[in-house]
Structures are given as structure tokens and as C-alpha cells.
Amino acid sequence: MAESRSLLPWPVLRQLTSGDLLGRGKAVRSRRTDEVEPRTSTADRVARSVCPYCAVGCGQKIFVKDEKIVQIEGDPDSPVNRGRLCPKGSASKNLVTSSLRETTIKYRRPHGTEWEDLDLTTAMEMVADRVVKSRRDAWQELDEKDRRVRRTMGIASLGGATLDNEENYLIKKLFTAMGAIQIENQARI
């Protein structure tokens, strides 16, 4: 408190005495500024990642502290983006930490007017039951021209362009083994 009464901390004095006449440098830094540490330097770890929006593939660094994502920045080492991100890429932290994200299963029963809750394992069991049934009900061993086709026309899927290669690989592998052929993604759109 004593300091606050002194004239010494006045930025104008520092401006005049330190050579920073325009007050754009050290002279106008407050103690608070000096004490603030960027989240990037206090993070526990950094994951090297890639922007999830368009297909340019900008490198990102994801800073994690206490198992929470505290900052996402462009990766300066990347030959793709040299550390830069666009408005969407810069908002990726907002994407992953948004309070609007769904974190539990929502279930709407036939003719229902409201969402209901389901736990994850129950929902998985229900979906597995439906897949088995729909696959069986719409099975075609032969098509209308008596050609052997071994497939089901009861199950369709759309999506993949936002997913990982490994995920698309498993999706196609599983659906193909099931005989489900109406498997599509954004590349068709």
C-alpha cells in the first residue's frame, strides 16, 4: 500500500527516465502483466494435433492442464500453416469445450415428444439388437434378377469425412461383413 502513495510507480516517470518515451514498451507494463503467465507455458502437456475443419490440415498444439484443454494454437513447425489458424481453427477450443456439447445419450422413442435418458451400455445393446434385426429382415440372398448378392438393404449410413482413417476403415469393414452396402459420406455430396 505504501507504494501506491509513492510517485515512483507512475508510468510517466518510467517513460521519461527509461528512454521509452512513447510508452509502448517496458515503461507501461504493470506488475500484473509481469505476473501473468500464458496458459501455454503453464500447461502440463501439449498434444500435437490437426485442425478438424477444412481439409487444408493446419497443425495445432493442444495445451492441457489438469486434464482440461486450456488452449489450442497453430503449430509453428507445420509446413502447412506455419502456426496460423483461421477463425474456425482459432475457435476449436470453443468446439471441444462448449457447454452445449452432448455428453449423455438422448433417446426418442417412436411417437415420443420428448428426449429420454439412456445409459451408454443399454443404448449400445439396443442398437446392436436393431442392427441384427434390420439386417435379417431386409436380407437379399438373390436380387430381383436372381443374381447372388448376399446383402441387406435395411441399413444405411452417412458420414466419414470428419472422422479418422482408422474409423472409416472399421466402419467399412464391419458394414461390408454385415452385407450393408448403402454406406456413404460427404464425398458423394
Partner 1 sequence: MAEAHPVGFQWVVEAQNRGAKVIHVDPRFTRTSAVADKHVPIRVGSDIAFLGGIISYVLENGLDFRDYVVNYTNAATIVSDRFEDTDDLDGLFSGFDPDKRTYDPTSWQYDVEDEPGQQSAAQADDSEETQEQRDSAAGMQHEAHGMQVEGKPRRDETLQHPRCVYQVLRRHFARYTPEVVEQTCGVSQADFLEVCRAWTENSGRERTTALVYSVGWTQHSVGVQYIRTGAILQLLLGNMGRPGGGIMALRGHASIQGSTDIPTLFNILPGYLPMPNPDQHATLGDYVDSIRNPGSKGFWSKADAYTVSLLKAYWGEAATPDNDFCFDYLPKITGDHGTYRTVLDMIDGKVSGYFLLGQNPAVGSAHGRAQRLGMANLDWLVVRDLFEIESASFWKDAPEVATGEIVPEECATEVFLFPAASYAEKEGTFTQTQRMLQWREKAVDPPGDCRSELWFFYHLGRMVRERLADSTDDRDRPLLDLAWDYPVHDEGALGSEGAQAWGEPSAEAVLKEINGYDVATGRPLSSFVEMKADGSTAGGCWIYTGVFADGVNQANRRKSRHDQSFVAPEWGWAWPMNRRILYNRASADPDGKPWSERKAYVWWDEEQQQWVGDDVPDFEKTKPPSYRAPEGSDGIEAIEGIDPFIMQGDGKGALYVPQGLIDGPMPTHYEPVESPFRNPLYGQQANPTRMDYRRDDNPMNPAPPEEHSDVFPFVFTTSRLTEHHTAGGMSRYLEHLAELQPEMFVEVSPTLARERGLEHMGWCHVVTARSAVEGRVLVTERLRPLRVEGRTVHQVWMPYHWGGGGLVTGDSANDLFGITLDPNVLIQESKVGTCDVRPGRRPTGPALRELVADYGRRAGIGDQLPARIVTASADAQARSLAAAETSDDDQEGQ
Among positions 153-182, residues that touch partner 1 (CB under 8 A) are: 153-174, 176-182
Q: Is 137 near partner 1 (CB under 8 A)?
A: yes
Closer to partner 1 by CB, 26 or 48: give it: 48
Residues 96-115 contacting partner 1, CB under 8 A: 96, 98, 100-113, 115
Q: Contact 178/152 with Cβ under 8 angstroms?
A: yes
Instruction: Indicate the helix (H) or strand (E) that contains 88.
Output: helix 87-90
Interface residue with partner 1 among 10, 19, 25, 125 (CB under 8 A) is 125
Interface residue with partner 1 among 14, 27, 62, 73 (CB under 8 A) is 62
Q: Contact 89/51 with Cβ under 8 angstroms?
A: yes
Instruction: Indicate the helix (H) or strand (E) that contains 170.
Output: helix 165-178
Question: Minimum CB separation from partner 1 for residue 95, in Å?
Answer: 6
Give the type of residue at 59. G
Question: Minimum CB separation from partner 1 for residue 138, in Å?
Answer: 6
Instruction: Indicate the helix (H) or strand (E) that contains 58.
Output: none
